[in-house]
Amino acid sequence: MVNLEWYRTFKSVYKNGNFSLAAKELFISQPAVSQQISMLEAHVGYKLFNRKSKGVEPTEYAKLLNNLIIEALDRLENVENGFRSKAFDANRLITVGISKHLFSSMASLLISKFDYIDFSFQENDALFELVNAKKIDFAIVTKKYDTFDTVQKKLGDIRQIIVGSKNIDAAKLQSDIKNSDYNAIENWLNDQKWYSHDSGIPHIKLFWLHVFNKKRPSMVPNYIIPSESEMLEVLSKNSGVAVSWDINARSFIQDEKLQLLWETNQMPETAAYLLSAKNSGFNLAAQEIEEELKKLLS
């Protein structure tokens, strides 16, 4: 009788070249992996792996077996995941990782769709590690990852812009922008009160690098508020300027709480992605999250 777990274990060992890594991926013990491979070898009548100093190496028989079963096994796993997706329970807790700076602009959509969400605040690389280790179900990231065990779908593009409080007279700035007088633009910006959500001002440095071709701006932030949404809220009630993601500033500009001072194509767009683990059993949830966030970023 065919034991599908033997073939799943074989697939993982073949891919990882290591019993320990396969055990970790399959959430079983290393002795269990060894036992299943031994039983499969007895079943097919051939040795499948040779032990090396670091891991194992597939034999020619293993390569042949992999070619014969991989497509069918993938197809079977897709069917299995399809059944799980159809049986998806909307009340089931999902875990989502996101930067705290993008939370306010994106999270409300997810909250409107799901009854239970556990959010984690981390930055790109930490979020990838959590998804890759299957410690969270999804992550919203602004960096491309290319791995075998994760699925990454582009949601849209976001761009950093400069916004200011409504009480600022920006007539001279707009005139300088129209005339492409970058020295005058930079001088005007340097004369303003600056708000930032990071004391290292990486977002402002990036803007200066792309727009003014300078590695370091000469301005110094007056106020550091470690959340972009909170920073924009405070800015809207006071006087000053800030660099912000366009998606975060959109509602403030639409509600006339802030004014758009400068949006330039010299500042490149950044892609936002939905990251999830393969075969997670959350296919419907992933599709729903992807569709809603694509609408937001369109």
Measured over the CA atoms of residue 91, residue 95, residue 98 and residue 100, the dihedral's sign is positive
C-alpha 286 chain-centroid distance: 13
Domain spanning 94-157+270-297 has what CATH number?
3.40.190.10
Per-residue pLDDT tens over the stretch 169-182: 999 999 999 999 99
Mean pLDDT, residues 101-114 taken together = 84
Q: Are 289 and 138 in contact (CB under 8 A)?
A: yes
* pLDDT, greater one: 74 or 183: 183
For domain 4-86, the CATH class is mainly alpha
Least confident of 146-155, 204-213, 239-248: 146-155
Domain pair 4-86 / 94-157+270-297, same fold: no
Mean pLDDT, residues 34-58 taken together = 89
Q: Judge whether residue 86 has pLDDT over 60.
A: no
Q: How confident is the model at residue 79 (pLDDT cuts 50, 70, 90)?
A: low
10 Å Cβ neighbour count for 81?
A: 16
Q: Judge whether residue 19 has pLDDT over 80.
A: yes
How far apart, in whole angstroms, are the C-alpha atoms of residue 222 and residue 227?
15
CA distances from 34 to 9, 38, 55, 163 (A): 9, 6, 12, 60
Q: How confident is the model at residue 87 (pLDDT cuts 50, 70, 90)?
A: very low
- The amino acid occupying position 142 is T
Which CATH homologous superfamily contains domain 160-262? Periplasmic binding protein-like II (3.40.190.10)
Percent of the chain with pLDDT strictly greater than 70: 93
Mean pLDDT, residues 225-254 taken together = 94
How far apart, in whole angstroms, are the C-alpha atoms of residue 226 and residue 242?
13
**Reported pTM:** 0.65
How far apart, in whole angstroms, are the C-alpha atoms of residue 203 and residue 123?
14
Give phi and psi for 63, each to the nearest 5.
-65, -40
Mean pLDDT rounded to a whole number for the chain? 88
**For the chain, which residues make up each domain, given as ranges?**
4-86, 94-157+270-297, 160-262
Q: Judge whether residue 129 has pLDDT over 70.
A: yes
Strand residue runs (E) in 205-268: 223-224, 241-245, 258-262
